[in-house]
């Protein structure tokens, strides 16, 4: 599992936008991107870097880093997803987004069970969820249309799940997923379309980065 050892806020400042790595905190005034003095890139040369116009390669690299960090992936993992996306039929950039969105940890996050992808990954790795009735603790598990994601019976009485259940009830669930209001089982209805994933990423630049 990929772990972020440095400050998550540094990644957002480097990207110049919120990557939503701290969940609910990113929506408050405590977020570094909400403070004018912290909006510049990190480091002693932050002011100079913010005024410098990025090269074509630099812009491609920045887009790749933003997407990789949003989904908490290591370089080798991200490259593997890129290779798989290029092998599939259709638009490579859209294939990449679909592969990342249908990871089990991201599905748990989109269903509202966790406030961030980091928390979702931890819950999956600790065996909180079943996929089609089978306990799954692999965050990178690739879900498919028709898969049902539900809570494992042994985890239903935990305090974390009690809090998460309240959050799920008011979550804004994307249209490619559904949630049973009684059992709280989530279902992958179909693959997400590019317009349904709001992440302010230019995936075409990422494709160009790997095909240069």
Q: In the chain, what are the domains? A: 1-53 (1.10.1050.10), 103-188 (3.10.290.10)
**Nearest Cα to 143, choosing from 111, 114, 184?**
111
pTM score, whole prediction: 0.79
Longest dimension (CA), the chain: 54
Q: What is the average pLDDT value for the chain, to the nearest integer?
A: 83
Question: Tens digits of per-residue pLDDT, 12-51?
Answer: 666 666 666 656 555 566 565 555 545 566 654 455 555 5
Q: Give the DSSP letter of residue 142.
A: B
Question: Tens digits of per-residue pLDDT, 137-183?
Answer: 999 999 999 999 999 988 888 888 888 888 787 788 999 999 987 88
User: Across 2-6, 10-14, 97-101, 155-159, which has the greatest mean pLDDT?
Assistant: 97-101
| Termini Cα distance of the chain | 29
- What's the mean pLDDT in 44-73? 80
Higher pLDDT, 134 or 158: 134
Asked whether 192 and 98 are in contact (CB, 8 A), the reply is yes
d(CA 93, CA 177): 21
């Amino acid at each position: 599992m990929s772990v972020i050892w440095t400050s998550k806020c540094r990644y957002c400042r480097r990207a110049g936008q919120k990557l939503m790595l701290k969940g609910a905190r990113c929506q408050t005034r405590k977020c570094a991107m909400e403070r004018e003095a912290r909006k510049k890139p990190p480091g002693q040369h932050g002011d100079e870097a913010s005024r410098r116009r990025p090269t074509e390669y630099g812009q491609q690299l920045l887009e790749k880093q933003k997407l990789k960090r949003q989904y908490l992936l290591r370089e080798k993992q991200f490259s593997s997803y890129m290779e798989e996306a290029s092998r599939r039929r259709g638009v490579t950039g859209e294939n990449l987004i679909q592969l990342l969105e249908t990871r089990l940890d991201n599905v748990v996050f989109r269903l509202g069970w966790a406030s961030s992808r980091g928390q979702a990954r931890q819950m999956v790795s600790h065996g909180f969820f079943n996929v089609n009735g089978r306990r799954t603790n692999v965050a990178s598990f690739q879900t498919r249309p028709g898969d049902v994601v539900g809570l494992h019976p042994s985890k239903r009485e935990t305090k974390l799940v009690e809090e998460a259940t309240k959050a799920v009830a008011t979550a804004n669930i994307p249209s490619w997923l559904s949630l049973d209001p009684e059992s709280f089982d989530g279902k992958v209805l179909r693959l997400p379309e590019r317009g349904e994933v709001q992440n302010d990423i230019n995936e075409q630049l990422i494709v160009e980065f790997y095909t240069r």
